Amino acid sequence: MNELIFLLHIMIIAISSLVALWLGKEALIAYVCVLGILSNLFVTKQILLFGLNVTATDAFVVGAVLGLQLLQEYYGKKIARKAIGASFFLLIFYAVVSWIHMRYLPSFSDVCHGHFMAILKHMPRIAVASITSYLLSQLLDYNIYGFLKKIFKGRHLVVRSYISLAIVQLFDTVLFSFLGLYGIITNVGNVIVLSFAIKMIVILIATPLVAFSPKIIKKSE
């Protein structure tokens, strides 16, 4: 059952990336920022995929980087840098207001505080590791994708996207695993291998839809 939901999840994020592209750079920047917040909000939920225990946020992370690539491809490096800056600001804002929200004392009739505690009261180490790895991954993709665009002279969009996403997600997986999980779990190596394998499935399914982006941007214009 989870596998079917996972496939639907990937398709929705990939198609939504194209819809945001069609709506324009402002919508695409907002889309990237929303995915960044969602990836940090849902990172603590564990699910079973193909018999493996993984987080439920890998599709959000890949979708955010894919959106950043579309920004750089069609609107330039300056706009992509603005999207990274906006993501950083909004992730910090999310972390601060979540902390403030949890400081309020609930009333005697409140029934939701415990649920908010379970969702928002992450271990500081996990929250910092998630935000750090997400933002550094965006910066790495910004540089790698730009380099590949020069090397390929603007051609082979899907190939460039595959290469950059694979490298960036390997970096993100290794960095988050060591920053957030080292010393907490017994075998970090297994987590890295399993998480990266799931991300590669997301990349393999979602990236081919990038081939439709030139048609989308022409219709938008």
The C-alpha atoms of residue 149 and residue 43 are separated, in whole angstroms, by 31
Q: Looking at residues 22-31, what average pLDDT do you find?
A: 93
Check if the beta carbon of residue 71 is closer than 8 Å to that of residue 21.
no
Query: From the centroid of its chain, how far is CA 191?
Result: 18
Phi, psi of 48 (to 5 degrees): -100, 120
Which of the two residues, 181 and 198, has the higher pLDDT score?
Answer: 198
Q: Looking at residues 31-53, what average pLDDT do you find?
A: 83
pLDDT at 186: 60
Q: How confident is the model at residue 20 (pLDDT cuts 50, 70, 90)?
A: very high
Helix residue ranges per DSSP H, the chain: 2-23, 25-41, 58-75, 77-103, 113-120, 124-151, 157-176, 188-206, 213-220
* pLDDT tens-place string over residues 57-78: 888 988 888 898 899 889 988 9
Bridge partner list, 52: 49
Bridge partner list, 47: 54
pLDDT at 184: 60
29 pLDDT exceeds 90? yes
Q: Looking at residues 80-103, what average pLDDT do you find?
A: 88
Check if the beta carbon of residue 95 is closer than 8 Å to that of residue 127.
yes
* pLDDT tens-place string over residues 123-181: 567 778 878 888 888 889 899 998 998 888 888 888 898 899 899 989 988 988 888 77
Check if the beta carbon of residue 62 is closer than 8 Å to that of residue 165.
yes
The C-alpha atoms of residue 35 and residue 202 are separated, in whole angstroms, by 15
pTM of the complete model? 0.84
Max mean pLDDT among 41-50, 95-104, 124-133 falls in: 95-104
Bridge partner list, 46: 55
CA distance from start to end of the chain: 40
Check if the beta carbon of residue 209 is closer than 8 Å to that of residue 14.
yes
Work out the mean pLDDT of the chain and round it to a whole number: 85
Q: How confident is the model at residue 211 (pLDDT cuts 50, 70, 90)?
A: confident
- Tokens representing 155 are 């051609």
CA neighbor of 144 nearest in space, from 172, 163, 125: 163
